[in-house]
Amino acid sequence: MKVSYFETARYRAPRQLPAQWPVPPAAYDRDAGTQSYHGMVERMQFVEKLGFDWISVSEHHYSPQRLTPNPVVSAAYLAGYAQNIKIAVLGPIVSQSNPVQVAEELAMLDNMLPGRLVVGMLRGITGEYLTYGLNPAEARERTSEAMELVLKAWTEPQPFGWQGRHFRFRTVAVWPRPRQQPHPPTYALGTSRESCEFAARHHLGLGVSYAPFGVIAKATRFYRDACAQCGWQPAPEHVIYRANILIGETDAEAEALLDEQRRARQAFPLRAQVRDALLELDIRNVAGEARTPNVGGVLPTNFVGSPDTIVEQIKCCREQSGVGVIDLMFQIPGSADLGFLMRSLELFGTKVLPRIRDV
Amino acid sequence: MRVLQKGLIVTQAGDAFREGHVDADGFRIRYMEAGQGPPFVHLHGAGGLRLTRGHDLLSRQFRVIAFEMPGFGASPENDRSRDMPELAATMATATDALGLDQFNLMGTSFGGKTALWLALLQPDRVQALVLEAPAAIRPHGSRPPAGSPEEMARRLFAHPERLAPMPLPDPAVQARQARLTARLRGPDRDADLEGRLPGLVVPTLVLFGTVDRVIPPEMGHFYKELMPNCHLVFVYDAGHAISTDRPEAFVEVVADFIERREAFVISRTDTVIHP
Amino acid sequence: MQVSYFETARYRVPPAIPAEWPVPPGAYDPETGAEAYQGMVDRVQFVEELGFDWVSLSEHHYSPRILTPNIAVSGSYIAARSKRIKIAVLGPIVSQSNPVQVAEEMAMLDTLSNGRLVFGMLRGTTNEYLTFDLNPAEARERTTEGMELILKAWTEPQPFGWQGRHYQFRTVSVWPRPLQQPLPPTYSLGTSRESCEFAARHHIGLGVSFAPFEVVAKSTRYYREQCRHYGWEPAAEQMIYRANILLADTDEEAHELLEQQRRGAAPFPMRAGVREALLKLDQRNVAGEARSPNVGGVLPTSFYGGPDTVVAQIRRCRDEVGVGVLDLAFQNPGAPDTGRLMRSLELFAEKVLPRIREV
């Protein structure tokens, strides 16, 4: 099993913030912002030393919860400090981006690293439809087209035009190209049938997130079947699982913390009327079975307990869903105590990591 | 006119086209014509002439002349055209006989190769060249689509299930066409043709669907590498029959290219949302 | 006079590469590309040591000549690898971007670099209209609206909607905001009447480039007049002049280099049919007087000679144009010979820089 540390810049607000997304920018504290980016580097260097394989970043907007509206920009900063760790951009929200620009940025980044970039391409969580005014009804189709265009922009040797449904370019000729040829390890992110089929067709990996093992197992099974139909078999590291983790010295400690975590604030809470309207409009599925989107809700904590318990949970996860990379969001319940985060990372790095390498 | 199951009334593709015939090299060649404007000659693929919504849309801006090349459709077996250049010469003569001095030329798949040869033989007459999923450069060991109508449809179209049912082909016609195209299609990599392409300065647009299951779209860049004034465009989610799968997208770029040639790369799209 | 070094991530272009823009990406060599970005960092650290005030970057696409399609990404990488030098992004091509995304990226970069960002907003060189299919007839208007939206996104305390002509957003609420208050040093780039007026109206600086002194002087004069009209007076450092420089030990040597360079290739040579069509469509002006755009042509070299001569030219530039910041493109940015570049940077720092500080 490979392990990735999910870094969100951990902005620590000096005072109580309005809960609702989008958060008014007037509440932004510049010193806290600066500290949060510096902390990002410290934590990356820490997990690098502990032996984590990747550090991952994600794209979120208009919120102190994830201070990385362009994850490639944060990753380029991290690249300036990284030694050996891979940087996983999971991922640019391609549905609302200019796919050619995404291809350019990621290619630059892969050259800066050099060659240690991992890419995931994302449709985006429901709330992000509001960021740049994306029509929820078009989100899926735009994602598929954009992913195809990004891959084409990385691999086509001659300048070309793109006559798409949602994107049109007469001239695409991306310089630089990625350092890794033909392109960096790339994942389609999401549990949906479309995401699995796209990944299978293009020989890409699949990234799933947060749902319980049983749910993600449906998607990974569907993905492996689709790969078989396309005549290939994915390796375990072709499947990433982004999950919440709460690690304590003992199970009792972790369980107690989990209670606190359950009372925690949602990451991107929306005004009720907007949430309800989005719930109606956002059509999602797991391997073809309809599922309700998570709009502004709390996400489950997937791994909880002492190091021993977590090792068992990770084994169980591997057996049930076959994932080869876990991308971990470390919880710090009840406070913004970064000391707790560092202790959790160390505990994981010393007591769990060595025991799951052969899982 | 016909009525689809969903109750939509649509015009059959090609309804506006009139049939005509022209004599060339001893062949009586059928063609379909519609529209006014700059002449636009089309040479079809190995399956013969089938008018599509793409032709209809093109005929709004151009005088479209879609030939049925000798040996295709109801025409008698063609065992006289010895090779592709000869067929191309016949088609050039046919355009002459129609009184076309200069014209825009489009070739589809097999007809893409014919069109290339026509342009090589008479470059001054071809104002702009459009190659729809051309079959002039193919991966080694590539095979033309064959089999049941369902298998053919799966090879040709991105989403065959979305298309209205098409008339079943006449097996005798199919056999005649297959014999002819097998004889004329030439090698997968045609050194004679490719050796001449660097000298062809006609503005050329090459189109491939991203899900072409007959000729891989990865063949597109070879044309661009060989020809001095060539542009390559991928049509997203279209199969080999681009103008059937995505006629509006296809015609937008083709018509823009015919009108503006290489300057078609400059956008003139209005992005004003509200004045 | 303050001095900025214009860095282009020099890619060692092999002689056989096609000259025409866009350049086929199949010709990209990943090794050479990774070297280019490493070299970028080496040079930034070098000029920081030498005492240059800024390093500047610019957005260009589809070409090995300037390998920075997203300058926030290169800027972040540089931010991680430098300490004091200001990072001037001159600038993102606003007309073809998502202005909210630019505001987000630049706010990140300002914070990541500890407030070292200098920010210029650009309409874009004519060839770039082809990159993301920008209608030349709309370029000016989109730039103006985009610039206005960026400034708004940085200063408005509450989430807002934007009902523009070219851009429409229902929700804008940018996190993080720039570290520098109320704005990073910001410039409107371009000699045009619209650019000068926008800068004057918003109390921001003006950046002009490459044209001879008497031409750029027209626009700095117009800019100062406009500022007076809006009731303020710009400081010298609110005017940047980006220019080519060829510095050598002696005048004779510099003249010889200039001759060589005149025979050299233009930065973005284009196919005749496209160039002519663009020439017709692209309307440009200097302080309101029409000028023909430079489409795929060679750019003039404003400063050339031995150190004494260049010092005299810089004094004359200050007298005639009034700029307080020189942004210098040394020894032809397209030239693969970085050894010569390093020598001339050193020469500049030793023999020119100390003598123009008081200019």
Distance from CA of C18 to the nearest CA of A (A): 11
Q: What is the DSSP letter of C303?
A: E
Contacts of C18 (CB under 8 A, 6+ apart): C24, C27
In CATH, which superfamily holds the domain spanning C2-356?
Answer: Luciferase-like domain (3.20.20.30)
Q: Residues A313-343: pLDDT tens digits?
A: 999 999 999 999 999 999 887 666 899 999 9
Distance CA B235, CA B238 (A): 6
Subunits with 3+ Cβ pairs within 8 Å of C are: A, B
- Residue C152: closest CA among chain A residues belongs to which residue? A25
Give C26's contacts in chain B (Cβ within 8 Å). Answer: 221
Give me chain C's average pLDDT, please: 94
Q: Is the pLDDT of residue A264 over 80?
A: no
Question: Are B271 and C277 within 8 A, CB to CB?
Answer: no
**pLDDT digit string, tens, across residues B190-248:** 999 999 999 999 999 999 999 999 999 999 999 999 999 999 999 999 999 999 999 99
CA atoms within 13 A on the CB side of C201: 11
What would the two tokens of residue B93 be? 């003569």
**What pLDDT is stored for residue A334 in this prediction?**
64
Taking an 8 Å cut-off on Cβ atoms, the answer to whether A132 and C169 are in contact is yes
Choice among A175-189, B5-19, B165-179, C262-276 with the minimum mean pLDDT = B5-19
* Domain count for chain A: 1
Q: What is the pLDDT of residue A19?
A: 80
* C-alpha angle C301-C191-C59 in degrees, rounded to nearest 5: 70
ipTM entry:
0.95
- B67: which strand partners? B31, B43
Q: Please provide the average confidence, as pLDDT, over all residues in chain A.
A: 94
> Chain A residues contacting B, CB < 8 Å?
145, 148-149, 152, 156-165, 167, 170-171
**pTM for this prediction:** 0.95
Closest CA to A28 of A9, A44, A42, A46: A9
Supply the range of the domain harboring residue A352: 2-356
Name the residue among C133, C163, C271 with its Cβ closest to that of B267.
Answer: C133
Rounded (10°) CA dihedral B74, B75, B80, B86: -100
Q: Which residue has the higher pLDDT, A12 or A79?
A: A79
Q: Flag whether pLDDT at C350 surpasses 60.
A: yes
Opening angle at CA A348, ends A347 and A349, nearest 5: 95
CA dist C191 and C273 (Å) reads 27
Stretch A140-151: mean pLDDT: 97
Contact of B224 with chain A, judged by CB distance below 8 Å, is answered with: yes
CB-CB: which of B225, B233, B246 is closest to A161?
B233
Buried b (16+ CB within 10 A) or exposed e, B80-105: ebeebbebbbbbbbbbeebebeebbb
CB B109 within 8 A of CB B130: no
State residue C71's pLDDT score: 96
Interatomic CA distance for residues C23 and A111, integer angstroms: 19
Per-residue pLDDT, A335: 65
- Confidence bin at B117 (pLDDT 50/70/90): very high
Q: What is the C-alpha separation between C161 and C24, in angstroms, rounded?
A: 40
Residue with tokens 């990406």: C25
Q: What pLDDT sits at residue A268?
A: 80
| Amino acid (1-letter code) at residue B134 | P
Identify the residue among B226, B252, B271 best suited for mutation to test binding to C, counting C beta carbons within 10 A and taking the highest. Answer: B271
Two structure tokens written together for A145: 């087209």
Residues of chain B neighbouring A160 (CB-CB closer than 8 A): 220-221, 224, 232-234
Res B2: pLDDT:
46
Contact C81/A80, CB-based, under 8 Å?
A: yes
Out of B207, B236, B250, whose CB is closest to A145? Answer: B236
Q: What confidence score (pLDDT) does residue C122 get?
A: 96
Residue B92 belongs to what H/E stretch?
Answer: helix B84-97
Q: Considering only residues 91 to 120 of chain B, which have any Cβ-Cβ distance to chain A shorter than 8 Å?
A: none
Q: Which structure tokens are listed for A89?
A: 């951009």
The pLDDT value recorded for residue C294 is 85
The answer on pLDDT for C57 being more than 90 is yes
- A-B contacts (CB, under 8 Å): 55
User: In chain B, which residue's Cα lies nearest the Cα of C167?
Assistant: B273
What per-residue confidence (pLDDT) applies to B210? 97
Kindly report whether the peptide bond that precedes residue C146 is cis, defined as omega within 30 degrees of 0: no
Q: Looking only at Cα atoms, what is the longest distance across chain A?
A: 61
pLDDT (average), residues C286-312: 92
Per the CB < 8 Å rule, is C135 touching B267? yes
Q: Which residue has the higher pLDDT, A20 or A227?
A: A227
Contact B272 C165 (CB under 8 A): yes
Alpha helices in chain A (DSSP H): 30-50, 71-79, 99-112, 139-155, 193-201, 213-229, 251-262, 272-281, 307-321, 338-347, 353-356
Pick from C2, C79, C65, C75: which is nearest to C36 by CA?
Answer: C65
B237 neighbors B209 (Cβ within 8 angstroms) = yes
What span, in angstroms and rounded, lies between the C-alpha atoms of C116 and C97? Answer: 23
Whether the ω angle into residue A182 lies within 30 degrees of 0, i.e. cis, is: yes
Per-residue DSSP letter, B158: S
CATH of the domain at A7: 3.20.20.30
- C25 touches B: beta carbon within 8 Å: no
CA distance readout (Å), A172 to B222, B262, C130, C215: 16, 15, 9, 34
Mean pLDDT to the nearest integer, A214-240: 97
Contact (CB<8Å) A163/B253: yes
Q: Does B178 contact A at CB distance below 8 Å?
A: no
Q: What is the pLDDT of residue B5?
A: 47
pLDDT tens profile B145-163: 888 989 999 999 999 999 8
Q: Residue C160: phi, psi to the nearest 5?
A: -140, 165
Q: Is C187 in a helix, a strand, or coil? A: strand
CB-CB neighbours of B191 under 10 Å? 9
Find where tokens 């195209």 sit: B181
| pLDDT score for B3 | 45
Lowest mean pLDDT, pick from B19-23, B57-61, C282-286: C282-286
Poorest-confidence range of A23-37, C174-188, C283-297?
C283-297
* pLDDT 10s digits, B66-116: 999 999 999 999 999 999 999 999 999 999 999 999 999 999 999 999 999
In chain A, residues with a C-beta closer than 8 Å to the C-beta of C130 are 170-171
Partners of residue C59 in chain A, C-beta under 8 Å:
none
At residue B132, the pLDDT reads: 98
Q: What is the mean pLDDT of chain B?
A: 94
**Residue type for position C136:** P
Mind telling me how many Å the CA of C165 is from chain B's nearest CA?
A: 5
CB pairs under 8 A between A and C: 201
Residue A114's closest chain C neighbor by CA? C34
Residue A16: its pLDDT value, please? 86
Residues of B in contact with C135 (CB under 8 A): 266-271
Domain boundary assignment for chain C: 2-356
* pLDDT recorded at residue A308: 97
